[in-house]
Chain A
Amino acid sequence: ETGVTQSPTHLIKTRGQQVTLRCSSQSGHNTVSWYQQALGQGPQFIFQYYREEENGRGNFPPRFSGLQFPNYSSELNVNALELDDSALYLCASSSGGAETNSPLHFGNGTRLTVT
Chain B
Amino acid sequence: GQSLEQPSEVTAVEGAIVQINCTYQTSGFYGLSWYQQHDGGAPTFLSYNALDGLEETGRFSSFLSRSDSYGYLLLQELQMKDSASYFCAVRRTGRRALTFGSGTRLQVQP
Alpha-carbon distance A109/B43, docked complex (angstroms) = 10
Alpha-carbon distance A1/B95, docked complex (angstroms) = 29
**A41-B98 contact in complex given A101-B31, A103-B33, A106-B44, C-beta closer than 8 Å:** no
Task: Please provide the 8 A-B residue pairs with the shortest distance between their CB atoms, ordered closest to farther.
Answer: A56-B96, A42-B100, A45-B97, A103-B45, A106-B42, A48-B96, A106-B43, A108-B42
What residues of chain B lie closer than 8 Å to A48, measured between beta carbons?
A: 96-97
B39 CB, min distance to chain A CBs, angstroms: 11
A13 CB, min distance to chain B CBs, angstroms: 20
What residues of chain A lie closer than 8 Å to B101, measured between beta carbons?
A: 42
Q: Is B103 touching A41 in the complex (CB atoms < 8 A)?
A: yes
What residues of chain B lie closer than 8 Å to A76, measured between beta carbons?
A: none
Q: Is B96 touching A43 in the complex (CB atoms < 8 A)?
A: no
Alpha-carbon distance A56/B43, docked complex (angstroms) = 21
A: contact size bracket:
20 to 34
Q: Which of B45, B50, B95, B97 has the most chain A CB atoms inside 10 A of its CB?
A: B97
Q: Is B31 touching A58 in the complex (CB atoms < 8 A)?
A: no
What residues of chain A lie closer than 8 Å to B102, measured between beta carbons?
A: 40-42
28 A-B pairs, CB-CB below 8 angstroms?
A4-B42, A33-B96, A40-B102, A40-B103, A41-B103, A42-B87, A42-B100, A42-B101, A43-B100, A44-B100, A45-B97, A45-B99, A55-B96, A56-B96, A58-B97, A98-B96, A101-B30, A101-B48, A101-B50, A101-B91, A103-B33, A103-B45, A104-B43, A104-B98, A105-B45, A106-B42, A106-B44, A107-B42
- How many residues of B are in contact with the other chain, CB < 8 A? 24
Alpha-carbon distance A4/B30, docked complex (angstroms) = 25
Add 5 more A-B contacts to A42-B102, A42-B103 (CB < 8 A): A48-B96, A55-B96, A56-B95, A101-B31, A108-B41
Mark A residues whose CB is within 8 Å of B: 4, 33, 40-45, 48, 55-56, 58, 90, 98, 101, 103-109
A62 CB, min distance to chain B CBs, angstroms: 17
Chain B residues numbered 16-63 whose CB sits less than 8 Å from any CB in chain A: 30-31, 33, 35, 40-45, 48, 50
